[in-house]
Amino acid sequence: MVGSMLRWLVCAALFWCGANSMAQVVVLNDTFESGQFASQWATTEGTGTEVVSSLADGAGPSDYYARVQGVTGDGSEAGLGLSLFNLDRQATAASDFTIAMDFRIDPLQTNRRMFNLMVNGSSNSPTPTDSALNLRYWNDTWQAYNGSWQSLDLPAITADVWHNLVLTGSNWGSGVAGAASWGVQLDGSQVLSDLKVFQNSADASGARSLSLNDRWDGVGFDIDNVSVIATPGAVANNTTVITPTSPVAYSGIYPHTAVTSTHNEVAVAALVNRNDKLWFMTYGPHITAGGTDELYSVDLSTLEHTTYHDYPGNTDANRYHSSSLGIDIVGAAYIDSSDTIRYLPATNLAAGDLVGRITGTAAHLYDPNKLYYMTMEEGLYEVDFTDLTQPAITTLRVDGNFDSIGNSIQKNLPGVHGKGLYTGQGRLFFTNNGGDSTSKGGLVEWDGQGDAEQLAAWTIVDDSAQYTEVTSRRGPVDMQADSTDTIWATGWDDESMFINTRDASTGEWTKFRMPKSSYTHGHPNGWYTEWPRIRDVGLEAGYLMSHHGMLFLVPEEFSATNPSGVKPIASHHKMIVDFVEDGDQIVLAANDASIQLGNNILPRANSNILFLDKSEIEQYGGPPKGFGGVWVNDAVAADETSDAFLISGFRDRVVHFQHHSDEAVTFTVEVDTNGTGAWQPLEQVTVEGNGDQRGSYGYYLMPKNLDAQWMRVKSDRALDSATAYLHVANPARQLNPTLTAGLSDPMVPEPRSQGVLRSMAGSDFKLEFAADQLDASGQIVGTGYYQAQLNPTTAALELVAVDSADEASLRSEAATTQDFEVDEASVILTDQGQRFRLPKGLDIFDSETSSGWRRGMREVVTERNLLNAHGTIYEVPKEFAGGGVRRMVPITTHNLDIFDFMSWRGMLVLSGVSAESAAEGHCVQSNDGKVALWFGNVDDLWSFGAPAGVGGPWKDTAVEANAASDPYLMAGYDQKQLELSHDAATAVEFTIEVDFLGTDEWSVYDTLTVQPGESLVHSFADGYSAHWVRISSNTSTNATAWFTYSVSIPLAGDYNGDGIVNLADYTVWRDKLGMRVSHGSSADGDRSGVIDAGDYQIWRDHFGDTNPSGQTSSNSTPTPEPTSVALASVSVVLPAMIRWKNRHRVAAE
């Protein structure tokens, strides 16, 4: 029935509209039989608006239909909305259209609206306001609105019975007065045509959107088998230009280059630099046949920002440069040498368009005039660009979103979320990073022979891992089908991220493993990685690679036979999607703020690009650090070596071993020192067998002076379950006072402003700030409502006081809550009923401010959270991304009075600014001079201070014998010390367990005995790290388990950190003399917080000293009570954690 309805609908469209069938676009054909709304619907809002499953109760009969729920009062719901805009990616709207559906009204017969269909001619977004055509069924009467309701000569209909409605429009947007009309057919026989009853004129603007809604006391109605066909109108100049007069960047981000759309996600997808102009488009979530994403350009000389509104708007992320064809490809757009923009038709399935979510473009294997395009759901197209004005599209594989009538279909290649496409070595390579019941993802290749629709034509290289990028040293530029360049395919699994390399001479693949810096990317369906890339951006040391929150440099000649030179350079929280060279700079594309995962205090998604000097790339974000291994509970054969794992570029490297054998197992660690494949034994680690369900555990700390590229492991016996997993790290970034200037210090009594933040829902997406003005005692002395916006003339960022009733709703809807608890021992975070404990910062964070609690958990970067708790900001994965809270890590211990934080126009925005320094650095003061906000990059946080803190699972806590404590966070901290004490009359054994995987799998680290009346201080070996730690006692007693996490204490007087105290360190001291700094940082040798004569004396006393190589071992030292440092107040234990601004001098504690 569905197929026949679509064919009948096409005939109806031709009959009523008189349109050319070749120009028609099938906008929608939704039977709802998938159990959900088709992706083409732009909005499915309204309480209760849903797809309903009821056996044979739909039209047809069928088992599914959609319910548009009734709304009492005026309401704001749009119900179901569909965009008709950009139908052929050049037209502004539809000139002619046909909408057909089955519908059923509620049997409740009252004077209420029982059916309502609107067509909008003034807005791209489906909305019931300002409609051109407004049709309703009310009180047994069909009516249309033109200032008052006009009755239509159509019969009354029977409630609770399916009826059929066809609505047509003709000559909309022609510019000729009175030319636009519409018609309606009811149940195949009752026809009205050439109607001119309009709520607003349709002569000037074509049809741009439709909505089915039930506002104004509607009772609700059902719909089924909804089909829409439209004919594009005339082409128009459809651009918006922003010309900044004096553009200002905040940490490389220009506010005026931000992008937005009506979708729940808007990401900058791909970057192309051509003719001194940067081109890019955006993508939204799972959009296959047109949306509101657009094409953009930024003039790299003037930073003029242009939006091209006629872009198709699918979820596209491809780019490609072809010198022979003279074009650059950005999504469905292709741009020639004269900057003429053209679009591939991408919405009309029936006309043979290139439909689907384009994820890659690659050179053709046999014809240089053709290119391959592949979509995320395995659609493969061959596009012949011989005639640039009219490329010929041939479908080689049907996209999985569409069969012949628009329904989704099951595809046969491994994975469900396609990513990369590349041509080389006589093959077309395709990657997939989404898992399902049959595979975790996939890497496949095709030689161009045979039927690409058939699985047999493809070679499955690997379906056991999630793959992302596939490329070579050429990148997406002039690929050559017969190139012998090594193919690089990146991806990840439970063990690590990796590069899989293909050798052209043998066709063999070799995998090289690397750590993940972040656990936030690991969704099994592949949703949270976006598009990791390897790109040539003009860096001498190699190509830039992004993956799992880490930036790497990969040498141009990297291969299985030449694997040297891979270098980790930075960790990042920002979701980086692409990057491109621009002279001395690198431009990064980002997916910043989205609302698709319940981010309910962000009404509108937005993102931006970032400009970064090449000289700064190795200092971007945080230091390289992370987690990963070669085995995670894997079966291994005796004496069989693992894959290689990267260890170069990390100061701290600890390997955790675990097995479940009853017998002792010896693990041999081998290293490749220079990347030549010359492996040498480094260490043998024997882990005794115990048959314990938790497994047997051991660890190995690699020497800090070990200079090697790769490591690998083998076991002396076959094992059913073995784990070899690393934690790797580097010293934290130095505190950067320039970045934090102006932010409030909670320990300094000073006037300040703070308050809640939220971006607004309009297309200009202003930021709103409900501000409190506090005096030096912390009391509120004034309030106000402010909006951050772009100046309409200069495009400069400004913060403007506004008298608006919106302040009350902002304070109510974005109010902060206490997102964590605090007790005497630590910060407590509860997730799914499990308590997790975190270190504490300053005592002042125990209490709320006069404005309320400081914001705790908030999504700043799409699909992952930040937690601001007790002076430390943590990265917290979403639960589906790989563990949620269990895999959180600290980014910075700032100890600043940050009240709220959010993402806006690609920037991190902070509230909590000192009134005395409101115009400093990154702070923007309001036009009335009363308040200010801080603007920067989320990855600036890594330079706000090194993670540190004190606390533990117990502080004078009554504990039960053999009951494990709550988990306490260890990952992400440098120096670690544990102090144990108790009040029992006899000695107590404390068992320390660690969870190094962050998966609630525990291993016994050690058992320590503490005599009565004593405390025992255990210093973990320098470089040791696990994710969580917990303690148990063999005796019921009152006990304290107190951790102190601090930064490394460097060689005294070694102010430049090169391992020797010499004249260079004197220069550092001299240049910083008189500066206020974070305690112990820079040249603050005596840790007083100021660079002074005391630091000079330390340099002089240690002149000539060097830092000995080797590894610091763990040790446990008993000390008598009551000198326990663990029981001192936090404010005394943490003087080194308190940050002081340069303008203050505070007496030493």
DSSP collapsed to 3 states, 315-352: CCCCEEEECCCCEEEECCEEEECCCCEEECCCCCCCCC
Q: What is the mean pLDDT of residues 100-129?
A: 73
Residue with the two structure tokens 């970032």: 610
**248 vs 347, residue with greater confidence:** 248
CA-based nearest residue to 197, from 129, 141, 119: 119
pLDDT at 247 over 70: yes
DSSP class per residue in 219-238:
-EEEEEEEEEEEEE--B---
The total of other beta-carbon atoms located within 10 Å of residue 433's CB is 33
The total of other beta-carbon atoms located within 10 Å of residue 134's CB is 20
For 756-796, the pLDDT digits (tens) are 999 999 999 999 999 999 999 999 999 999 999 999 999 99
Residue 1078, pLDDT score: 47
pLDDT at 1076 over 90: no
The sheet with strand 333-336 has its strands ordered as: 319-322, 327-330, 333-336, 341-343
Distance between CA atoms of residues 262 and 606, nearest Å? 10
Every domain of the chain and the residues it spans: 91-190+207-233, 258-402+413-595+607-619, 625-729, 752-943, 949-1046, 1060-1106
Coil vs helix vs strand at 673? coil
Cα dihedral: 438, 441, 447, 448 (round 10): 80
Residue 694, pLDDT score: 81
DSSP conformation class of 703: P
For 562-605, the pLDDT digits (tens) are 999 999 999 999 999 999 999 999 999 999 999 988 788 999 99
CA-based nearest residue to 981, from 1045, 1034, 1041: 1041
Coil vs helix vs strand at 30? strand
Distance between CA atoms of residues 488 and 557, nearest Å? 11
Give the DSSP H/E element, type plus range, for residue 16.
helix 2-17
The sheet with strand 392-397 has its strands ordered as: 358-363, 370-375, 380-384, 392-397
Q: What is the mean pLDDT of residues 421-428?
A: 99
Domain at 258-402+413-595+607-619: CATH code: 2.130.10.10
Residue 1125, pLDDT score: 34
Distance between CA atoms of residues 295 and 279, nearest Å? 7
pLDDT at 693 over 80: no
Distance between CA atoms of residues 464 and 444, nearest Å? 12
Residue pair 954/1010 in contact by the 8 Å Cβ criterion: no
The total of other beta-carbon atoms located within 10 Å of residue 203's CB is 18
Amino acid at position 825, single letter:
A
Residue pair 318/373 in contact by the 8 Å Cβ criterion: yes
Count helices and strands in the chain by DSSP H and E runs? 6, 78
Residue with the two structure tokens 């061959």: 382
pLDDT at 341 over 80: yes
Q: What is the mean pLDDT of residues 918-925?
A: 88
Residue 93, pLDDT score: 74
Coil vs helix vs strand at 145? strand
**820 vs 1124, residue with greater confidence:** 820
The total of other beta-carbon atoms located within 10 Å of residue 1096's CB is 18
Distance between CA atoms of residues 339 and 344, nearest Å? 16
Helix axes 1063-1072, 1093-1101, angle to 10 degrees: 180
CATH class of segment(s) 625-729: mainly beta
Q: What is the mean pLDDT of residues 985-1008?
A: 98
pLDDT at 76 over 50: no
**75 vs 94, residue with greater confidence:** 94
Residue 519, pLDDT score: 97
Residue 26, pLDDT score: 79
Distance between CA atoms of residues 959 and 965, nearest Å? 8
Amino acid at position 1132, single letter:
V
Residue 112, pLDDT score: 64
Question: Residue 1076 has which token pair?
Answer: 């206020």
Strand ranges in 1034-1133 using DSSP code E only, listed in sequence order? 1037-1046, 1115-1120
Cα 843 from chain centre? 33
**786 vs 314, residue with greater confidence:** 786
Question: For the purposes of burial, counting CB atoms within 10 Å of the CB of 43, is it exposed (0-12), middle (13-18) or buried (19 or more)?
Answer: buried
DSSP conformation class of 844: G
Distance between CA atoms of residues 133 and 118, nearest Å? 5
Residue 803, pLDDT score: 95
Residue 232, pLDDT score: 73
Amino acid at position 865, single letter:
N
Coil vs helix vs strand at 958? strand
For 490-517, the pLDDT digits (tens) are 999 999 999 999 999 999 999 999 999 9
Give me the CATH topology for the region 949-1046.
Answer: Jelly Rolls (2.60.120)
pLDDT at 109 over 80: no
For 1082-1136, the pLDDT digits (tens) are 688 876 657 889 989 999 999 998 864 434 456 776 754 433 333 333 233 333 3
Distance between CA atoms of residues 1016 and 1020, nearest Å? 13
pLDDT at 349 over 80: no
* pTM passes above 0.85: no
Q: What is the mean pLDDT of residues 318-344?
A: 95
Looking at the chain, the whole-number percentage of residues with pLDDT higher than 70 is 87
DSSP conformation class of 1021: P
Q: Which of 624-628, 650-654, 844-848, 1089-1093 has the lowest mean pLDDT?
A: 1089-1093
Q: Which of 140-144, 630-634, 849-853 has the lowest mean pLDDT?
A: 140-144
Distance between CA atoms of residues 811 and 794, nearest Å? 30
Phi and psi at residue 458, in whole multiples of 5°?
Answer: -105, 150
pLDDT at 485 over 60: yes
Q: What is the mean pLDDT of residues 75-97?
A: 59
Q: Which of 69-83, 140-154, 623-637 has the lowest mean pLDDT?
A: 69-83
Domains 625-729 and 949-1046 share a fold: yes
Coil vs helix vs strand at 306? strand
Sign for the pseudo-dihedral over CA of 525, 527, 529, 533: positive
Residue pair 752/912 in contact by the 8 Å Cβ criterion: yes
Mean residue pLDDT of the chain comes to 88
Region of residue 670 (phi > 0: left; psi between -120 and 50: alpha; otherwise: beta) = beta
CA-based nearest residue to 1011, from 1124, 1119, 1128, 1122: 1119
Residue 1049, pLDDT score: 60
Sign for the pseudo-dihedral over CA of 468, 472, 476, 478: negative
444 strand-pairing partners: 430, 460
Looking at the chain, the whole-number percentage of residues with pLDDT higher than 90 is 71
Residue 237, pLDDT score: 56
pLDDT at 101 over 50: yes
**Helices in 606-689 by DSSP H: which ranges?**
none
For 854-912, the pLDDT digits (tens) are 999 999 999 999 999 999 999 999 988 768 999 999 999 999 999 999 999 999 999 99
Residue 220, pLDDT score: 79
Coil vs helix vs strand at 659? strand
